[in-house]
Amino acid sequence: MNALWLTHQVVARFLKRGGTCIDATAGRGYDTAFLCELAGDEGSVTAFDIQQEALDSTRQLLEERGLRARLILDSHENMAKYFESESIDVILFNLGYLPKGDHAVYTRFESTRAAIESGLGLLKRGGLMSVCIYYGGDSGYEEKEALIPYLSTLDDGQYQVLMTTFHNWKKDPPIPVFIIKQR
Ligand SMILES: C[S@@+](CC[C@H](N)C(=O)[O-])C[C@H]1O[C@@H](n2cnc3c(N)ncnc32)[C@H](O)[C@@H]1O
């Protein structure tokens, strides 16, 4: 059991066949592929990344698995340019740097916060935003230290914010966060 497993379990509850979703951090494409499998051919998956290398990897993985998604080379903070408000079932963020990529390029609090704010406007009522906070190592602690207090400011009349902890892990456990937009 790890953060990825937990995230996928929760996402699978919210994303049904024919659903519409966004992978805000495409990386090597494993989450994008998972979303494509859940949404099926009738669904729609869009993945963002700021690195061409990430989108190339994602495209290759999708081709190998016979899956299809729209891949956009842009920062996730601009996601609202591409969608109508309240049109998305699930938005997924896996923060940090590209695995086996450039460790100097990683998600930063300011753009992540802006992306979460836009993404919440795009979510349907009853929809899910999953944000897995990875930190430590080359990406440091700044993003996590700022995100946790920020997430506690989201209006509790509109959103439920569930933060999970791997309580007995010795070092830098990832923090899967699930934000559900109230119906
Ligand atoms: C931990 S990886 C994502 C892993 C991925 N979900 C997978 O299945 O392999 C984080 C990714 O976020 C990307 N990223 C960093 N800042 C970003 C931004 N502002 N907008 C979109 N992607 C960003 C990085 O380039 C990196 O590929």
Domains, the chain, with CATH or none? 3-181 (3.40.50.150)
Tell me which of 5, 25, 74 to substitute to probe ligand 1's pocket, judged by most ligand atoms within 8 Å of the beta carbon.
25
Q: What is the residue whose two structure tokens read 């933060």?
A: 163
Distance 59 CA to ligand 1 centre (A): 14
pLDDT surpassing 90 at residue 48: yes
* pLDDT at residue 1 in the model: 80
Q: Is the dihedral of CA 72, 73, 79, 82 positive or negative?
A: negative
Share of the chain above pLDDT 90, in %: 98
Nearest CA to ligand 1 atom 21: 49
Banded pLDDT at 160 (limits 50, 70, 90): very high
Q: What is the residue whose two structure tokens read 């949404």?
A: 39
